[in-house]
């Protein structure tokens, strides 16, 4: 339930103080958990079993009909509680479950710890821009440790939906458009949260939204997806499979219809693919209210039919809709779902509770929460991850990095000093409207921190964008939308902007989108800079002063004008708690940017969906005659997938293959040299792409099949090696309906982005 500010609906905290007792629980092996779960299952009634399949809201939401969960818990009708972060309340409810129910089964507490808990890391799209899975793993590990210390056992992360359309608001929550990069980031996040095995110190990951959610028609959130099986197999399912192979303990079924069958009632997805093909042994939770909304889709006749369809498709747990609570026992009594099926739904949930150590150690140690959440290493790691996530899109090579001796800077734009935007969505603050526990550093503050008191920093905000874009919460609660700024107000802001820029040595314009404009239920039909930001940018550029555009946004935006007219552009996304300091590190050269785009950057929304790994058309745009093109726009991206600049330059050379001919199933090794040819140290990302020239199906013009981020001193050369074998060369063919490597010739490229020209040829016999 992203973006719902739930503050007003929060349950008042109970003053009961519960001290956690005893020694930390030991890890329980999967075999032991399985044995214990089976024993427990034998003692359970149908109602108790159905209770474990119910996830109740921990906050009362009268507008959605949800109530305090106390009664249901004491009747043994709740297996999990979500959207609850008050530690005392978590302990209080857990005491009811453990002490007042017949079988003393603890509750699994769940929350969306998407990119940090107290310390907020950059949004997932930003972390993917680091092209460094190890930092995303470290970030999610810290986030998981914080969350577990605060009583959260389960996070609804990672979101691994491929997003090829920047209009879709949830592009910000994933790793972008590419299945290979997405798979690497998915594995890293599962590892970060769960560690090698689930245990008393780890957090259960939940891979979502299974599957195809990112392909929503028109980029409109929740809308239907139509994805042929070959695209599911070769693109959309790839990161899900990677996360499953990495040991993810839970999956979340998506909201939308997939090829006319809602994902939450889709047996092909949830049973045939996930359990039968991949061998998944964990459990599936529906997305919030999604079991109930099977009737809204026109797929289920009524609640009972919805419970039957979801349960028999493979949804173990019903998130928040209470449909299982109301109807599943009836369905079981008619044997439409038999006892063995019911047991199979319950078993993995009980196993997970044993593995997480909840039976031995159900309560939160309240005395340790604040100490854990305020560990200084959290902020240091956040600043590092944020620095690694930024992408330098343009630099005229004289403006950035800025000299620290600069005397007068004009900082322009509402986002420059917005604490509520720099951390992005899905934070505790943005969900609950709980103020002030994390202390985000804005870009304005970061610049001031960097320059100290002697520099003159002038700030012009511009009109509040909230007057143009009311929050979702305001819309839900029926608040009257605020009046948009008047023409006089706009003129006044522009005059102030011009004056500040005219008086400065350099202008830093921090523009983009309010964080609420991306994420759930936040699609956009245009990718323009909202409000009067474009006018502000043109105003500062007209002064002739060097302008650095810093973008804070959750999706690529239409910045064609800026790309031509400003000196430098830094994509910061929503960089997190230390974001402002991290932006200043990059602007002033303490950190050399090394991030790369995880998405193709469109010129305009009209190009969407836009992705680099498309097939060849029979008449590409660069050929004469009838071609695939627009009358009014170049169809290529403004910046290609994998692109990003540095304050130094890199040269890629000596691309070679250890074997130029291999048999199908064998591997070769790609070797490429990368040299830092500039004067400062920096990070290069070597990217390897392939293309299969002919086969049983048309193959994409390029596909990423390897990457590595390396730090290089000036003049330093490193030789990097990448395997190219079955895993990289195979694909799922719509003709054979199977995965396989097909004989033929493959192009291989290595370089700095998806347009790399360094080329070799591989023949598969």
- Binding positions for ligand BGC, rule: CB under 6 A: 1-2, 112, 156, 208, 287-288, 520
d(CA 571, CA 564): 16
Short-list 753, 759, 594, 755, CA closest to 678: 594
Residue 41's nearest CA partner among 275, 356, 341, 285 is: 341
- Between 253 and 420, CB nearer to ligand BGC: 253
Instruction: Supply the DSSP symbol for 106.
Output: P
Give min distance, CB of 260 to ligand BGC, in A. 20
Place of tokens 């390396």: 710
What would the two tokens of residue 332 be?
A: 């079981």
Active-site option among 287, 365, 421, 585: 287
Starting at the edge strand that comes first in sequence, how are the strands of the sheet with 391-395 ordered? 391-395, 568-571, 547-552, 506-512, 408-412, 456-460
- Taking the least distance from each CB to ligand BGC, the nearer of 288 and 610 is 288
By beta-carbon proximity to ligand BGC, the closer residue of 84 and 541 is 84
Residue 41 or 306 with smaller CB distance to ligand BGC: 306
User: Whose Cβ is closer to ligand BGC: residue 111's or residue 732's?
Assistant: 111
Which of residues 216 and 638 has its CB atom nearest to ligand BGC in the complex?
Answer: 216
660: its two tokens: 């130029």
> Which is closer to ligand BGC, CB of 192 or CB of 580?
192
Residue 30, token pair as written in the block:
């999967």
Q: Is the dihedral of CA 46, 48, 50, 53 positive or negative?
A: negative
Look-up: residue for tokens 């895993």? Answer: 727
Count CB-CB contacts under 10 A for residue 590: 14
Task: Write down the least CB distance from residue 1 to ligand BGC, Å.
Answer: 5
In whole angstroms, the minimum distance from the beta carbon of 80 to ligand BGC comes to 11
> CA dist 176 to 2, 654, 736, Å?
19, 30, 29
Residue of 183, 262, 268 lying closest to 229 (CA atoms): 268
Distance CA 465, CA 612 (A): 33
Rounded least distance, CB 170 to ligand BGC, Å:
8
Q: Write out the two tokens for 3.
A: 């973006």
User: Smaller CB distance to ligand BGC: residue 253 or 592?
Assistant: 253
CA distance linking residue 149 with residue 297, whole number of Å: 39
Least CB distance to ligand BGC at residue 281 (A): 22
Tell me the C-alpha distance between 425 and 2, whole Å: 8
Whether 654 and 626 have beta carbons less than 8 Å apart is answered as no
Residue reference for tokens 């427990």: 40
Q: Which of 129, 104, 114 is nearest to 40 (CA)?
A: 104
Planar angle of CA 703, 709, 713, nearest 5 degrees: 140
DSSP state, 273?
I
Least spacing, CB of residue 190 vs ligand BGC, in Å: 16
**Cross-strand bridge partners of residue 683:** 711
Q: What CA–CA distance (Å, rounded) separates 186 from 452?
A: 40
DSSP-assigned beta bridge partners for residue 689:
704, 749
Phi, psi of 219 (to 5 degrees): 70, 15
By C-beta, is 153 or 287 nearer to ligand BGC?
287
CA distances from 283 to 247, 346, 687 (A): 12, 9, 35
Catalytic annotation present for 146: no
Instruction: Output the residue with the shortest Cβ distance to ligand BGC.
Output: 156
Angle in degrees, CA 657, 661, 663, rounded to 5: 125
Distance of closest approach, residue 208 Cβ to ligand BGC, in angstroms: 6
Closer to ligand BGC by CB, 209 or 545: give it.
209
Q: If you compute the radius of gyration of the chain from its CA atoms, what whole number of angstroms results?
A: 26
Neighbours of 272 (CB within 10 A): 14
433 close to 563: Cβ distance less than 8 angstroms: no
> Measured between alpha carbons, how far is residue 268 from residues 229, 231, 310 in Å?
11, 15, 12
Buried b or exposed e, range 17-51, using 16+ CB within 10 angstroms:
ebeeeeeebebbeeeebbebbeebbeebeeebbbb
Least Å distance, CB 191 to ligand BGC, is 20
Closest to ligand BGC by CB, 40 or 78: 78
The least CB distance from residue 189 to ligand BGC, in Å, is: 14
Let me know: does 476 contact 63? Beta carbons within 8 Å: yes
In degrees rounded to 5, what are phi and psi of residue 505?
A: -80, -30
Nearest approach in angstroms of CB 156 to ligand BGC is 3
The residue whose two tokens read 């005395």 is: 367
Closer to ligand BGC at the Cβ: 288 or 536? 288
Distance CA 32, CA 601 (A): 49
Please say which residue, 1 or 507, places its beta carbon nearer to ligand BGC: 1
For the bound state, the minimum distance from the C-beta of residue 323 to ligand BGC, rounded and expressed in Å, comes to 16
DSSP structural state of residue 665: T
Q: Which of 351, 87, 366 is nearest to 198 (CA)?
A: 351
For residue 570, the minimal CB distance to ligand BGC (Å) is 29
- Shortest Å distance, C-beta 273 to ligand BGC: 20
* Angle at which helices 443-451 and 579-587 cross, to 10°: 50
What amino acid positions are annotated as catalytic residues? 287
């Amino acid at each position: 339930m992203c973006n719902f500010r739930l503050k007003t609906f929060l349950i008042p905290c109970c003053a009961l103080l519960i001290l956690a007792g005893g020694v930390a629980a030991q890890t329980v092996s999967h075999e032991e958990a399985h044995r214990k779960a089976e024993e427990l299952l034998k003692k359970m009634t149908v109602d108790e079993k159905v209770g474990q399949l119910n996830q109740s809201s921990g906050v009362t939401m009268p507008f959605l009909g949800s109530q305090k969960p106390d009664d249901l818990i004491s009747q043994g009708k709740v297996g999990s509680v979500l959207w609850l972060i008050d530690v005392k309340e978590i302990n209080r409810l857990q005491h009811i479950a453990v002490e007042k129910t017949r079988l003393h089964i603890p509750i699994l507490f769940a929350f969306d710890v998407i990119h940090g808990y107290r310390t907020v890391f950059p949004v997932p799209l930003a972390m993917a821009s680091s092209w460094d899975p190890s930092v995303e793993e470290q970030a999610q590990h810290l986030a998981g440790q914080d969350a577990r210390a605060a009583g959260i056992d389960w996070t609804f992360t990672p979101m691994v939906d491929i997003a090829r359309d920047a209009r879709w608001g949830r592009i910000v929550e994933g790793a972008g458009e590419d299945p290979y990069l997405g798979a690497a980031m998915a594995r890293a996040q599962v590892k970060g949260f769960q560690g090698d095995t689930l245990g008393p110190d780890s957090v259960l990951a939940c891979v979502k939204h299974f599957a195809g959610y990112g392909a929503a028609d028109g980029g409109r959130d929740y809308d239907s997806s139509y994805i042929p099986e070959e695209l599911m197999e070769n693109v959309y399912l790839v990161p899900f499979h990677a996360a499953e192979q990495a040991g993810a303990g839970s999956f979340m079924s998506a909201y939308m219809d997939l090829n006319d069958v809602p994902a939450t009632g889709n047996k092909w997805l949830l049973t045939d693919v996930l359990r039968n093909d991949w061998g998944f042994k964990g459990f599936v939770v529906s997305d919030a209210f999604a079991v109930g909304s099977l009737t809204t889709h026109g797929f289920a006749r009524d609640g009972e039919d919805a419970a039957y369809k979801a349960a028999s498709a493979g949804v173990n747990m019903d998130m928040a809709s209470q449909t299982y609570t109301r109807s599943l026992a009836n369905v079981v009594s008619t044997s439409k779902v038999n006892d063995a099926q019911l047991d199979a739904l319950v078993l993995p949930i009980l196993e997970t509770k044993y593995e997480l150590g909840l039976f031995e150690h159900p309560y939160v140690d309240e005395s340790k929460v604040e100490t854990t959440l305020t560990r200084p290493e959290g902020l240091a790691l956040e600043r590092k991850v944020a620095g690694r996530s930024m992408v330098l899109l343009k630099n005229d090579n004289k403006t950035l990095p800025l000299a620290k001796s600069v005397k007068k800077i004009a900082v322009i734009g509402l986002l420059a000093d917005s604490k509520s935007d720099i951390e992005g969505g899905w934070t505790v603050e943005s969900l609950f409207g709980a103020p002030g526990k994390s202390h985000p550093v804005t870009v304005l503050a970061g610049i001031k921190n960097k320059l100290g008191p002697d520099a003159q920093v002038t700030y012009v905000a511009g009109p509040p964008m909230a007057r143009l874009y009311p929050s979702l919460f305001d819309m839900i609660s029926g608040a009257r939308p605020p009046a948009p700024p008047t023409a006089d107000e706009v003129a006044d802001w522009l005059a102030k902007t011009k004056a500040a820029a005219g008086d400065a040595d350099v202008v830093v314009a921090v523009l983009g989108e309010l964080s609420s404009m991306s994420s759930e239920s936040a699609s956009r039909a245009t990718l323009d800079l909202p409000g009067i930001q474009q006018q502000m940018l043109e105003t500062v550029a007209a002064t002739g002063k060097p302008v650095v555009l810093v973008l804070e946004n959750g999706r690529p935006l239409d910045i064609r004008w800026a790309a031509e007219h400003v000196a430098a552009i830094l994509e910061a996304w929503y960089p997190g708690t230390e974001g402002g300091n991290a932006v200043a590190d990059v602007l002033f050269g303490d950190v050399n940017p090394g991030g790369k785009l995880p998405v193709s950057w469109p010129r305009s929304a009209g190009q969407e969906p836009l992705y680099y790994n498309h097939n060849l058309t029979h008449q590409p745009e660069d050929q004469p005659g009838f071609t695939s093109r627009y009358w009014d726009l170049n169809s290529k991206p403004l910046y290609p997938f994998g692109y990003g600049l540095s304050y130094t330059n890199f040269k890629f050379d000596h691309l070679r293959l250890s074997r130029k001919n291999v048999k199908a199933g064998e591997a070769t090794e790609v070797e490429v040299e990368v040299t830092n040819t500039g004067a400062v140290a920096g990070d290069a990302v070597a990217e390897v792409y392939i293309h299969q020239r002919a086969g049983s199906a048309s193959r994409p013009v390029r596909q990423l099949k390897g990457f590595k981020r390396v730090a290089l001193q000036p003049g330093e050369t490193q030789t990097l090696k990448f395997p190219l074998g079955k895993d990289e060369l195979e694909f799922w063919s719509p003709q054979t309906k199977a995965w396989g490597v097909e004989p033929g010739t493959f192009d291989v490229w290595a370089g700095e982005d998806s347009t790399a020209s360094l080329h070799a040829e591989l023949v598969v016999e």
